[in-house]
Chain A
Amino acid sequence: MNRFNKLTLAALIAVSFTLAGCPKKPTVKAPQTAAQSVAQTSDSDARTGRTSGADNGGVRPLTSTKGDMPSGDGELGATIRFDYDSSEIKAEYQPIISSEAKQLAANRHLQLRLEGNTDERGSAEYNIALGERRAQAVKKALVLLGASDTQLTTVSYGEERPVADGHDEAAWSQNRRVDIVVTAR
């Protein structure tokens, strides 16, 4: 890893820690008990999850763990969460968006995949469209702040890939999200 990428890494870790503060803000609705069970679930996701897939080219999911903490082995990225049936990026995520956009502008080799997700409620195909709309909202925000179109791809998994397995608002609020995944740097 060259010096530049180390700097990028450090900056993105800093971003992750910024994000780590989010659950303490009053806007996060998940009660503590639910947050703990969610953390367990997504922790195992980060360790053993999609890296086992045959087709992910060694890409690590950057899904947040333990309430948006980095999982401890230097993973990058962020998770943006959304309100019900909404693709509006909430003000609390603006610092993350601008920080990610700066990284993208500074390093044109950096490529991100924006994975849109919804909670399990409602119809599955509508949720695919809603997840895409969320991913596009994040893409648009990043491009406005200096990222290039060509650095960003989107995919929507709708309700198919929850990080929290529960069937209540605590789980749903975790699952309505865009995961920002680094695919090249």
Chain B
Amino acid sequence: MTNRLFRLIAALGLSVALFGTAEAQLTVDITKGNTSPIPIALVPFGGEPVPLDVAGVVEGDLARSGRLAPLSRLSMPQRPSVASQIDMAQWRLVKTDYVAIGRARADGAGYVLEVELHNVLTGERVLGVSMNSTASGLRLTAHRIADMLYEKIIGVPGAFATRIAYVAVEGPVASRRWRLVVADSDGENPVTIVDSKEPLMSPVWSPDGTKLAYVSFENRVSSVFVQSILTGARERVSGRAGINGAPAWAPDGHRLALALSQPDGNVDVFVMDLDTRGPPLRVTDDPAIDTEPCFSADGQSLYFTSDRAGRPQIYQIRLAAGERAKRVTFEGNYNARPRLSPDGKTLAVVTQDQGGYRIARVDPSSGQSIILTTGRLDESPTFAPNGQTIIYSSRERGRGVLATVAVDSGVVTHITAPSGDIRDPAWSPRL
């Protein structure tokens, strides 16, 4: 393969190729948007050469956010790398609101990157930063630059210098292989952390971003494992007879909510204390399916999926003895797999809509729901740590892909693996 990292097809048919040093891994397509993103120009860096197209990585990040529309390099009237070279009149002609310029300089074994953001309309420099980076850390530095530019323009911190975990499934039905992969938020630098001939599912990040909890069917039974991202050390935290699934971390990082089955197969929601490792506390007790727990922001209650009213809906229950669950969703006949936004105010769920399974956001206080996606088989939604984007599993032309949807603008991107299906994404907290 060439060193083309990924392809971006922006909402307006804009096509941008980004180049880098790594082998091609995942393909990112931006396919839909329904608001006007803010135009910005990310001029290729000047100065001394660096082994990464830093401006290109920043450009990819900002385009995927759906909030910013990077200008094609072919349309750039000039390529300044210092402020004095910028001719604002020329940039006004190409109707860009911001110009970001930068330059690199070798510094020992690493680099110093200087970045400036200029407002074309006012002519002001609105941001100027200098960052040190090792050669191998250039990509992370580029994501941090994207975070800063995004925050300066949008007013909300970016979430580009983060990671995603997902499950890759390859091979024919007969000899299928499951891998748990951790990658940068743009799909680059994928690293397989578990490889199995039996299903892997439901990865979730610990609140401190150092561990993943997930479900593995190795030895043909389901178990919940917690694995360190740093050391690779892993531990089976739940391996009871029957179902051990749907792990979810408490905000304190010391408790894990789980779905466990009784000997009769009925699934209920439990909470386990990871420090004491006492018997898990049973939270729900209902003959219906109760699963897919997710902690509220205060850690005092759980949202979960239950079909106690006949079809799956979202409920909330306080973690105290004898509490009754309160139904949260009422719109539609299928709402499942709740995940809370970082501000604790919104749930992302899977909902059934016009025969398809789609991602919706639900206000748990009013039950009001807004459907965000148009897929047929969308599932497993999770918020980015800045709450601006939801990542989820989808299907494109028969392939399992990851997709992101910008919560405000509805811009959808698809991330496709070179082969096989990828699914069950989990977005890390800020690292």
Complex interface: stretch among B141-149, B212-220, B363-371, B404-412: B212-220
Which B residues from 346 to 395 make CB contacts under 8 A with A? 350, 352, 357, 376-377, 379-380, 395
Residue among B289, B376, B377, B398 making CB contact with A129, cutoff 8 Å: B289
Give A33 to B352 CA distance when docked, in angstroms.
Answer: 28
**Across the interface, do B350 and A123 meet the contact criterion of CB distance under 8 Å?**
yes
How many angstroms between the C-alpha atoms of A44 and B220 in the bound complex? 20
Whole-angstrom distance between the Cβ of B171 and the nearest chain A Cβ: 11
CB closest chain-B residue, reference A44: B174
Task: Judge whether B312 is part of the interface by a CB distance below 8 angstroms.
Answer: yes
**A74, CB-defined interface residue at 8 Å:** no
Q: CA–CA, A175 to B291, complex, Å?
A: 22
Q: Is B202 interfacial (CB 8 A cutoff)?
A: yes
Contact A44 B173, beta carbon cutoff 8 Å: yes
Across chains A and B, the number of contacting residue pairs, with CB separation under 8 Å, is 117
Most chain A C-beta atoms within 10 Å of own C-beta, residue among B245, B259, B265? B265
CA distance A113 to B357 in the complex (A): 31
CB of A141 closer than 8 Å to a CB of B: no
Q: Interface stretch among B85-93, B98-106, B193-201?
A: B193-201
Interface: B96 (CB within 8 A): no
Q: Are A125 and B173 in contact (CB under 8 A)?
A: no
Interface centre among B198, B337, B424 (most CB of A within 10 A): B198
User: Which of B175, B265, B352 contacts A133 (CB under 8 A)?
Assistant: B265
Report if B264 contacts A (CB, 8 A): yes
In this assembly, does B334 line the interface, its C-beta being within 8 Å of a C-beta of chain A? yes
Q: Given the complex of chains A and B, what is the CA–CA distance between A184 and B201 in angstroms? A: 29
Which residues of the partner chain B approach A130 to less than 8 Å between Cβ atoms?
Answer: 289
Question: CA A21 – CA B51 in complex, angstroms?
Answer: 65
Closest approach, in angstroms, between the C-beta of B158 and any C-beta of chain A? 29
In the bound assembly, the distance between CA atoms of A121 and B219 in angstroms comes to 26
Establish whether residues B197 and A53, one from each chain, have CB atoms under 8 Å apart when the complex forms. Answer: yes
Interface residues of B in 194-242 (CB under 8 A from A): 197-199, 201-202, 217-222, 242
Q: By the criterion CB–CB under 8 Å, are A122 and B350 in contact? A: yes
Per-residue CB contact flags for chain B residues 289-320 toward chain A (1 = under 8 Å, else 0) read: 10110000000000001010001100000000
| A-chain residues with CB within 8 Å of residue B28 when the two chains form the complex | none
Other-chain contact of B221, A49, A122, A155, A161 (Cβ < 8 Å): A155
Q: Is the C-beta of B250 less than 8 angstroms from some C-beta in chain A?
A: no
Q: Which residue of A lies closest to B198 (CB)?
A: A53
User: From residue 75 to 96 of chain A, which have CB atoms closer than 8 A to chain B?
Assistant: 85
- Count of chain B residues with Cβ under 8 Å from any Cβ of A? 45
Residues 143-170 of chain A: 1 if any B CB is under 8 Å from the residue's CB, otherwise 0? Answer: 0000000000011111011110101000
Say yes or no: B175 contacts A48, CB within 8 Å.
yes
Indicate which residue in B197, B218, B245 contacts A125 across the interface (CB closer than 8 Å).
Answer: B245
Identity of the chain A residue whose Cβ is nearest the Cβ of B311 in the assembled complex: A85
| A129 and B243 within 8 A (CB) | yes
Please, how many angstroms separate the alpha-carbon atoms of A45 and B173 in the complex?
7
A68 CB-CB contact with B under 8 Å: no
A154 to B241, CA, bound (A): 9
CB distance from B421 to the nearest CB of A (A): 10
* Interface residues on chain A, number (Cβ under 8 Å): 39
Which of B174, B218, B379, B380 gathers most chain A CB within 10 Å? B174
Judged by a CB distance under 8 angstroms, whether B18 is at the interface is no
Given A45-B174, A123-B292, A128-B245, decide whether A157 and B305 contact each other with a Cβ distance below 8 A. no
Q: B336–A132 contact, CB under 8 A? A: no
Cβ contacts under 8 Å, A133 to chain B: 265, 289
Q: A136 contacts which of B265, B312, B334 (Cβ < 8 Å)?
A: B265
For A44, list chain B residues within 8 Å (CB).
Answer: 172-174
CA distance A156 to B245 in the complex (A): 11
Cβ of B261 within 8 Å of any chain A Cβ, yes or no, is yes
Q: Are B265 and A126 in contact (CB under 8 A)?
A: no
B246 at the interface (CB under 8 A from A): yes
The answer to whether A135 has its CB under 8 Å from any CB of chain B is yes
Separation in Å of the A19 CB from the closest CB of chain B?
Answer: 20
Asked if residues B312 and A122 are in contact (CB atoms below 8 Å), the reply is yes
Does B159 sit at the interface, judged by CB under 8 A? no
Cβ of A41 under 8 Å from chain B: yes
B106 CB to nearest A CB, Å: 48
The answer to the question of A179 belonging to the interface, with a C-beta cut-off of 8 Å to chain B, is no
- A167 close to B395 (CB less than 8 A): yes
**Chain A proximity of B328: nearest CB distance (Å):** 15
Interface centre among B175, B221, B424 (most CB of A within 10 A): B175
**A150 to chain B: closest CB distance in Å?**
12
Are A155 and B220 CB-contacts (below 8 A) given A123-B337, A125-B245, A132-B267? Answer: yes
- Chain A residues with CB under 8 Å of B175's CB are 48-49, 52
Decide: A167 and B243 in contact? CB cutoff 8 A. no
Does A54 touch B at the CB level, under 8 Å? yes
Checking B173, B202, B217, B336 against A41 with a beta-carbon cut-off of 8 angstroms, the contacting residue is B173
Q: Which residues of B are interface residues toward A (Cβ below 8 A)?
A: 172-176, 197-199, 201-202, 217-222, 242-243, 245-246, 259, 261, 264-265, 267, 289, 291-292, 305, 307, 311-312, 334, 336-337, 350, 352, 357, 376-377, 379-380, 395, 398, 424
The 4 closest A-B pairs by CB, nearest first: A136-B265, A160-B199, A123-B337, A129-B289
| 9 A/B residue pairs, CB under 8 Å, sorted by A | A49-B175, A122-B312, A123-B292, A124-B379, A125-B291, A126-B292, A129-B261, A132-B267, A167-B376
| Given A165-B172, A165-B173, 9 new contacts (CB under 8 A) | A42-B173, A48-B174, A52-B175, A121-B357, A122-B336, A125-B246, A129-B243, A129-B267, A167-B395
